[in-house]
Amino acid sequence: MAQAAHVAHAIDVDAIERFSLKLFIAEGRAVRPREIIDIFHDWIRERAVPGLLIDVADYGHLPESPNVLLVAHEANYIFDCHRRAGFAYTIKRKTPGSFADRIADAASTLFFAARRLQQDTADDPDGAIPFQVDRIELVVNDQLHAPKTAGVERALQGAVEQAARLIFGETRVESAPLADGGRTGVTLHIPNAPALETLV
């Protein structure tokens, strides 16, 4: 019991360095990787989204890899169809602030980029990509500071709910550990989330 208490006390979510946030796409909208690749190249030329944008990589041929990756210096923008289709922003370097603050900042960037994706696909025959803002997935890729334990997952839930209040105000939020057993993270549900365009 003493050892378990010590481990729980040692959890410091503010030390987490690498994490990602993902928005899901509403079912029924097919997305072609080629479409996203072309848009990402345009973003580099236009400096359309935050960050020092470097290159575009297509990993669609590799199982369990993200389809399209827009590489930036401090983070990556990822379009992923291998699990549930969605768009993610992955932080690679720690920045100042609490973990909740950094989640909120990353969410702001993700919303901005997702809105830009909607605008850039508005003329597509299938229509603009419809993102669901009411459900956001946080995945922590930092085994040193956040191994997959029940205590870490509870601490992540607290941080992500605090971040949700920074983003959405005093609205109802629900969180739960990720359903799959291999990844450390939390799913955040915001039943009354506003439309994406109101968040940018």
pLDDT at 7 > cutoff 70: no
pLDDT in tens, 58-112: 876 666 666 899 999 999 999 987 668 899 999 999 889 999 999 999 999 999 9
Which of 6-20, 72-86, 117-131, 181-195 has the lowest average pLDDT? 6-20
Degrees (nearest 5) of the Cα angle 98, 89, 76?
110
Please report, for residues 38, 53, 60, 77, 139, the alpha-carbon distance to residue 56 in angstroms, rounded to integers and kept in the order given.
9, 9, 12, 9, 22
What is the β-pairing status of strands 75-80 and 68-72? antiparallel
Number of domains in the chain: 1
CA distance 17 to 94: 5
Contact at 8 Å (CB) between 187 and 176?
A: yes
List the domain range (segments joined by +) for residue 92: 2-199
Residues pairing with 139 in the sheet: 20, 185
pTM confidence score: 0.90
